[in-house]
Amino acid sequence: MTIELERSGVTTADGVRLNVEVTGPADAPVTVLLVHGWTCSTRSWHHQVEGLPQILGRDAVRVVTYDHRGHGRSDAAPTGSTRLEQLADDLVTVLDEVVGDGPVVYAGHSMGGMTLMAAADQYPELFGPRIRAAALVSTTSGHLTEGALGIPARFDPTAAKIAPRVLNAVGRRIDRRAATRAAAGAEGAEREALRRAGGVHAPSAEAAEAGAALAAEIAGGAAERAQAAGDARSAARLAQVARRAGALAARLQRPALKQVVFGKKVDPAEVQLFMEDLAVVPGVSYGGFFEAMLQHERGHVLKALDQLPVEIMHGTRDRLLPPRHANRIAAELPTARLWFYPGAGHMLMQERPRDVTHRLASLARKASA
């Protein structure tokens, strides 16, 4: 089956143009809305965009995906707009301008799942009349730093303090380096042309490496200050964080980044796709949205979904958001079904495409019944 993709866009209230991609007829009995995660793009859902019409029938489903502001083909996020509340407003714009009034199955990966929760907080009236079912894929209702990257839970408060400074500093470095390359000439121009054309390039893991190095630098400095102030316990704790971050900086090249984001036996093409999307995220979005996710605590709003069919899907080897995040959502939303996928990492829809697609197809059938 040949899938015809229509690419267009919508403009938000603050003037940001969002890239929107649609397959299937406008009068389909159900729309599946696929919303990607931090540093990703619509392309992370490519298996589902192709697979859902094959399972349900070409005329039986409309599939809509869009790039968050500051991601993929969408416009950059203006200063001050890298907030989950803003992403919830953007979601409503897409629902009103593209999706229409028919039943919707919402599938949110990582930050896309958090966007749904922000929408449940701000627009609870959407759930039931418009959003009829939901899939929460590799996401969290809060406590983002808990156990991330294998750091023990006792270091969570330290990680929460350091992470925003690290990510914002990395974002500034990314933008400075991009500006330097652009000013140098051909390389910057080629990269921008490739970004706009959706072409292929081969980025490095310099942003992640720089982030780890900065984490080591910040934590190490904090440890020295704590030692000078006579707080030996805090100094020891921060020194251990600094050692961990320094070790990460020393080894965080492409293979290590792959191990952090993906699970076992991943297709190299999927890794390349993720790296390409990561490479074009502006520094403001990189750091700003991470800081916004650190502030995300919305377990209480999940009650807006308790009358809907909800599927929670998570990989057992997710190092960015360990499985305990899925267990917490399931405890907060006991009417949902929880699925774990052994050996899968954070990019579940790319690593277990058949399983995720069939779960979404099942939700689509329920929503259109």
Model confidence pLDDT, tens digit, residues 320-350:
899 999 999 999 999 999 999 999 999 999 9
DSSP 79: T
Q: How far apart are CA 273 and CA 266, in angstroms?
A: 12
Confirm if 46 and 269 have CB atoms less than 8 A apart. Answer: no
Check residue 220 and give its pLDDT: 47
Residue 105 makes CB contacts below 8 A (sequence gap 6+) with 30, 31, 32, 33, 131, 132, 133, 134, 135, 360, 363, 364, 367
Whether pLDDT at 137 is above 90: yes
Mean pLDDT lowest among 246-250, 299-303, 362-366: 246-250
Check residue 5 and give its pLDDT: 86
Check residue 18 and give its pLDDT: 98
Check residue 256 and give its pLDDT: 65
- Region 121-126: mean pLDDT is 96
Strands 6-11 and 17-23: antiparallel
Helices 232-251 and 156-184 cross at an angle (nearest 10°) of 40
Residue 124's identity, in one-letter code, is P
Model confidence pLDDT, tens digit, residues 253-297:
456 667 789 998 899 999 999 989 988 888 888 888 988 998 899
Check residue 162 and give its pLDDT: 47
Confirm if 112 and 37 have CB atoms less than 8 A apart. Answer: yes
The pLDDT confidence band at residue 31, using thresholds 50, 70 and 90, is very high
Please give the residue that has the higher pLDDT: either 77 or 5: 77
- Region 294-303: mean pLDDT is 94
Whether pLDDT at 66 is above 90: yes
DSSP 317: T
Whether pLDDT at 61 is above 50: yes
Closest CA to 215 of 244, 174, 235, 236: 244
Whether pLDDT at 219 is above 70: no
Please give the residue that has the higher pLDDT: either 143 or 78: 78
Model confidence pLDDT, tens digit, residues 94-108:
999 999 999 999 999
Please give the residue that has the higher pLDDT: either 351 or 192: 351
Check residue 2 and give its pLDDT: 67
Model confidence pLDDT, tens digit, residues 40-49:
999 999 999 9
* Dihedral sign (CA 275, 82, 7, 94): positive
Check residue 62 and give its pLDDT: 97
Whether pLDDT at 199 is above 50: no
Q: How far apart are CA 82 and CA 163, in angstroms?
A: 16
- Region 233-244: mean pLDDT is 53
Please give the residue that has the higher pLDDT: either 26 or 213: 26
Burial class (CB in 10 A: 0-12, 13-18, 19+), 129: exposed
Q: Mean pLDDT for the chain?
A: 81
Whether pLDDT at 158 is above 60: no
Phi, psi of 11 (to 5 degrees): -110, 130
Check residue 249 and give its pLDDT: 42
Q: How far apart are CA 142 and CA 84, in angstroms?
A: 12
The pLDDT confidence band at residue 177, using thresholds 50, 70 and 90, is low
Going through the chain in order, the beta strands assigned E by DSSP cover 6-11, 17-23, 31-35, 62-66, 104-109, 131-137, 310-315, 337-341
DSSP per position, 132-156: EEEEEES--SS-TTTTGGG--GGGH
The pLDDT confidence band at residue 240, using thresholds 50, 70 and 90, is low
